[in-house]
Chain A
């Protein structure tokens, strides 16, 4: 399965307003793909097309082995990690419960779940005592690490992240990037990273897609990303 995510002439719109038009592309396994574009360009929708939260108006989305089955998206979503802007942590659950939630919903026994939580927290250097705290007691950077842990919990072959780091300050970001890279190196997966930040893409991504005014304007590897820098920054 060299390309676990493929778009084949996919379009989506909200009535009159086109959001994505005729997108065709393939996302390689074990690589971090940055989806670039300014806000409102349709890049978040591209992400939601992958886990079936949005259905294309035309074209086909292929995830894993076949065309996406919209009648059974729940099972699919459990094999895809999902993280959003501002961490998306549940305030009523402790850090440990938040990280272990993907295990809870798929019925993983609790000792096994706790082991996995501890393992992930160690990987991103979170103190074990944090497991019983509520997210609001943690700093922004710590919360982001918790969010990363949760997205990685089921060791999903695909990880979707929508502007996960955008609300963090610069030094915290640098710190998180390191954790992200550590996790990715430990068990490589297909990461779709939606971001407007060219530098972030340059630092973390192996490949990129540039969505501009609903169209796929450019795509390619890191070298290609470097070459579009000026054009991209002008559009932002």
Chain B
């Protein structure tokens, strides 16, 4: 007995001695982002570091804010994205100038380039391009009727569609769609042109053609490691191993493996690094725990996120509702503010929360909490205000104190409306919590985000079906609760 305890202690002590600081690696939520993120993570693990993976981060803004505030230590980024999107064109994409500016302005660093440039490009089916005689972006000027389906990020970027259209004098009217769905749309000819990354694995396999950027509009997008100052030297040495090892063709092949052969990111990154002799082949590749295990784990995270956020919003919104009800002058202001919160798009709210709360479960809970506030608050207030005035008068005339009026009469009579509000909030929260994956909080959104990046509908369904079931379970749970606490004749008829 003593020996087991002793050896256990020894084990912990030896772990503590050998343990390097934990490094947090981020990745953007698309194919290449995952593969490169995984390469960075594996290299650091090979160097003896414990790595926390914060993948599936929702876009440049989220990654950059996370890096700046130390929520992650490093993530793969592109020089062109840094100059255009983060620095808003304040600095040229020239490597040295960029590095100096980042160090001075943000105390951030970039590694030397991995070797390929993943620039934006417009692509279309080879046959279609041939039919219309389109080879370059300039050629598009004569084909205004072509249907463009562009990713939301490209539509919004500084160096995206609007700048491109101005530079080339294009007049097509693009619609927005998720990048993961664009290739399918091209195949089904529901769109003619989409934006792509020049290393996308689909380009070759789908028989697509890249339209030549004949006016050199797109800046260079050299892939680099973007990291915080002060990383240990041997960690930097590990990162440096990626310098110059990845050509555009190699990257296309790796991306294609992920999309078409359904090879896991970690396996792809691992195989590549071992083949290049950059990590020892004994390095562990964590085998996934199997689909059901993953579903169970993510469902657990999802439920936890939902319940914590919901409980917090009930704890705040119900008392707040009572205050609002009691002080009519306040009610407009408070309802107005919570109403505004509700209209902020969820992904935008998540991005706004990062500077304050970083990334992970906490900011996700905060965002979900803010979303759940309004339905609970509004139903509390409306439940209280719609209590029969004659009954309020009786309560008053009987000699009830304010607190007694609330506790014995107004609150119980508002309860059906209140429960309806909580129920609405619960269902909204279950749905919105799928977006938590964008800021590294896990949950069922992980499947959906990864599935979208991979264009893997079975993966999307692994997230979507449990999420839908959870919403149904929530409904049933509240129905049961209503039956328990509200007498039949006072129950609301709900659909």
A interface with B by C-beta (< 8 Å):
48, 51, 53, 73-80, 82, 84-86, 88, 90-93, 101-102, 104-106, 134, 136, 160
A93: chain B residues within 8 A (beta carbon)? 412
A-B pair count, CB < 8 Å, reads: 62
How many Å lie between the Cα of A233 and that of B200 in the bound state? 94
Known: A90-B409, A92-B412, A104-B408. A82 touches B398 (CB 8 A): yes
- CB–CB B399/A75 < 8 A: yes
B490: chain A residues within 8 A (beta carbon)? 91-92
Given A82-B398, A84-B394: 18 more A-B contacts, CB < 8 Å: A48-B397, A51-B397, A53-B396, A77-B397, A77-B398, A78-B398, A79-B399, A80-B399, A84-B390, A88-B390, A88-B393, A90-B394, A90-B409, A90-B413, A91-B413, A101-B398, A101-B408, A104-B408
How many Å lie between the Cα of A106 and that of B398 in the bound state? 10
Known: A88-B391, A104-B408. A160 touches B397 (CB 8 A): yes
- CB–CB A134/B397 < 8 A: no
Known: A74-B401, A101-B408. A90 touches B391 (CB 8 A): yes
Shortest distance between the CB of B340 and any CB in chain A (Å): 34
Q: Provide the B385-411 mask, 1 if CB < 8 A to any CB of A, else 0.
A: 000001101101111110010001100
Decide if B277 is an interface residue (CB 8 Å cutoff).
Answer: no
Decide if B282 is an interface residue (CB 8 Å cutoff).
Answer: no
Shortest distance between the CB of B152 and any CB in chain A (Å): 49
How many Å lie between the Cα of A88 and that of B388 in the bound state? 10
Decide if B489 is an interface residue (CB 8 Å cutoff).
Answer: yes
Shortest distance between the CB of A54 and any CB in chain B (Å): 11
Known: A92-B490, A101-B408, A136-B489. A86 touches B390 (CB 8 A): yes
The count of residues in chain B whose C-beta lies closer than 8 Å to any C-beta of chain A is 19
Decide if B232 is an interface residue (CB 8 Å cutoff).
Answer: no
**Can you show 15 pairs from A to B with CB atoms below 8 A apart?**
A53-B393, A73-B399, A76-B399, A78-B399, A79-B399, A84-B397, A86-B390, A91-B489, A92-B412, A92-B413, A93-B412, A101-B398, A102-B398, A105-B399, A105-B404
How many Å lie between the Cα of A235 and that of B320 in the bound state? 50
A74: chain B residues within 8 A (beta carbon)? 399-401
How many Å lie between the Cα of A34 and that of B397 in the bound state? 19
How many Å lie between the Cα of A86 and that of B391 in the bound state? 10
A92: chain B residues within 8 A (beta carbon)? 412-413, 415, 487, 490
Partner of B397, one of A53, A75, A136: A53
Shortest distance between the CB of A141 and any CB in chain B (Å): 19
Shortest distance between the CB of A49 and any CB in chain B (Å): 12
Shortest distance between the CB of B371 and any CB in chain A (Å): 30
Shortest distance between the CB of B231 and any CB in chain A (Å): 63
- CB–CB A88/B489 < 8 A: no
- CB–CB B394/A88 < 8 A: yes
Which residue of chain B has its CB nearest to the CB of A86? B390
